[in-house]
Amino acid sequence: MTIMAADVTVERTAEVWARLESVIDPELDESVTELGFVTSVGVDAGGQVRIDFRLPTYWCAANFAFLMADDMRIAVAALPWVEKVTVGLGEHMYADEINRGVAAGLSFQATFGSEASGELEEVRRTFMVKAFQRRQEVLLTYLLDHGHEAAVLLRVTVAELAALSCDSAGHRLIVRYLERRPVVGSHADDRAFVDQDGALLDAGQIHAYLRALRRVGVNAEFNSALCRGLLATRYGPGCAPQVEVKPVHFVRSIGVARSN
Partner 1 sequence: MYRTTDGEEIFIIDGHVHLWDGSKANLKNVHGQQFIDCFYAYHSNLSPKEYLWPKEKFDKYGEEAMYSDLFVTGYDDMAICQPTYLTDFYKNGFNTTESNYVLKGKYPNRFIVNGAFDPRDGEAGLDRLDELSERYKIQGVKLYTAEWRGDSKGYKLSDPGVQRYFERCEKLGIKNIHVHKGPTILPLNRDAFDVADVDDAATSFQNLNFIVEHCGLPRLDDFCWIATQETNVYGGLAVVLPFIHTRPEYFAHVISELLFWIGEDKILYGSDYGIWSPKWLIEKFMAFELPESVSKETGVQLSLTAKKKILGLNAARLYGIDIDAQKKLLADTRQTATV
- Binding footprint of partner 1 on the chain (CB under 8 A): 27, 56-63, 93, 108-109, 112, 115-120, 122-123, 126, 130, 211, 214-216, 218-223, 225-226, 229-230, 232-234, 246-248
- 220 and 209 Cβ atoms separated by less than 8 Å: no
Q: Look at the alpha carbons of 16, 22, 26, 29 in this order and tell me if their dihedral is positive or negative.
A: positive
Cβ closest to partner 1, residue 72 vs residue 231: 231
Q: Quick one: 115 or 202, whose CB is closer to partner 1?
A: 115
CB of 181 to partner 1, least distance (A): 20
- The nearer residue to partner 1, 8 or 208, going by C-beta atoms, is 208
Q: How far is the CB of 91 from partner 1 (least distance, A)?
A: 8
156 three-state secondary structure:
coil
Please identify, using beta-carbon distances, which residue of 33 and 253 lies nearer to partner 1.
253
Q: Within 13 A of 116's CA, how many CA atoms are on the CB side? A: 19
Smallest separation, CB 84 to partner 1 (Å): 26
- From the number of C-beta atoms within 10 Å of its C-beta (0-12, 13-18, 19+), residue 167 rates as exposed
Our CB check for partner 1 shows the closer of 6 and 226 to be 226
For the bound state, the minimum distance from the C-beta of residue 15 to partner 1, rounded and expressed in Å, comes to 32
Looking at the DSSP assignment, which residues form a beta bridge with residue 157? 191
Helix (H, G, I), strand (E, B) or coil at 154: coil
Helix axis angle for 2-21 and 62-77, nearest 10°, is 130
Least distance to partner 1 from the beta carbon of 36, Å?
Answer: 14
